[in-house]
Amino acid sequence: MAEVVGAPEKGPNAWAQAIAALVVVGALGGGLYVIQKNEAKAADKPATCSPDEEDKKADKAAKAAHRVSGTQLCTALNRADLPTLLGTPQEHALTAYASDGSVESAGGAKTPTPEGNVQLDTYTVKLSRSYDDLPVAGLEDLLNDGAKKTILGHPAVLYSGQTFAIQFNLGGGKSETGPGGIARTLIVAPDTKDGGGSYELAIWRQDSVPPDDAALLRVAAKVLPAIPGWTAAG
């Protein structure tokens, strides 16, 4: 038996912002990736962002450093109306989880990159935060079909990324990778001044059909203001 999951390829934005984390975006072959620890217990019970002890420690450390944590991002993302915003109101969250990682530069400096993930039957959604010093303005020139946007008064860029499929042979054989579907991603400045750092909101479909931009923008309009520390435009 083989397990197939989808994951986004590392695009120009990941290179530009030094984000190297591998994010699993969907389970397509009958099983779920092991990091999806908050699996719904029953078909009628949506998954929640229930933190474990490591998540609680990371959450406490993030608050002490005046940063947002992965659990906070997961909670902001995992709204009761998320399925409706995505255009799939009959669905609910199957998995919801957070992570609090960082990326280390060549000089040894570590940039926190917390994130939250929610998976439904049709879509997987990821919300992350980067604390680098790179502004969002100009990133459209580095990205695949990048387009400048303004989201809730904040500078933003919308772009496409190719996902890739990972097939695990649960019988002990070798894993295989191949091209997957398209991810649509918004990179949004955390404030109107665009002084560095960003939020990144991305959606993928499990069936590799191109995701709906309107759905992504609806999610952004509701989720971003719910993030602790979000700065509203004046």
User: Phi, psi at residue 96, to the nearest 5°?
Assistant: -150, 125
Rounded Cα distance, 98 and 161, in Å: 22
So what's the pLDDT on residue 85? Answer: 98
Contact 198, 187 (CB under 8 A): yes
pLDDT digits (tens, 9 = 90+) for 121-140: 999 999 999 999 899 999 99
Whether 27 maps to a domain, the answer reads yes
Tell whether 107 is covered by a domain.
yes
More confident: 175 or 28: 175
At 176 the pLDDT is 63
pLDDT classification of 99: cutoffs 50, 70, 90: very high
The residue behind tokens 């609680």 is: 56
pLDDT of residue 118: 96
For residues 158 and 184, give the distance between their C-alpha atoms in angstroms, rounded to a whole number.
7
pLDDT tens digits for range 163-214: 766 655 555 666 666 666 789 999 999 999 999 999 999 999 988 789 999 9
Helix axes 70-77, 53-64, angle to 10 degrees: 100
The pLDDT of residue 101: 86
Does the residue 234 lie in any domain? no
162 touches 179 (CB < 8 A) = yes
Residue with tokens 């229930």: 50
**Torsion, Cα of 211, 5, 14, 64 (10° steps):** 100
Where do the DSSP E strands lie in 39-175? Answer: 95-104, 110-119, 123-130, 147-151, 154-169
pTM recorded for the entire structure: 0.79
What whole-number distance in Å separates Cα of residue 222 and Cα of residue 190? 15
For the chain, the domain total comes to: 1
In a domain, 94, yes or no: yes
The more confident residue out of 167 and 156 is 156
Classify residue 232: in a domain, yes or no: no
Residue 149 falls inside a structural domain: yes
Domain that holds residue 85: 2-226
Is 209 a domain residue?
yes
Q: Is residue 231 part of a domain?
A: no
Distance CA 65, CA 187 (A): 23
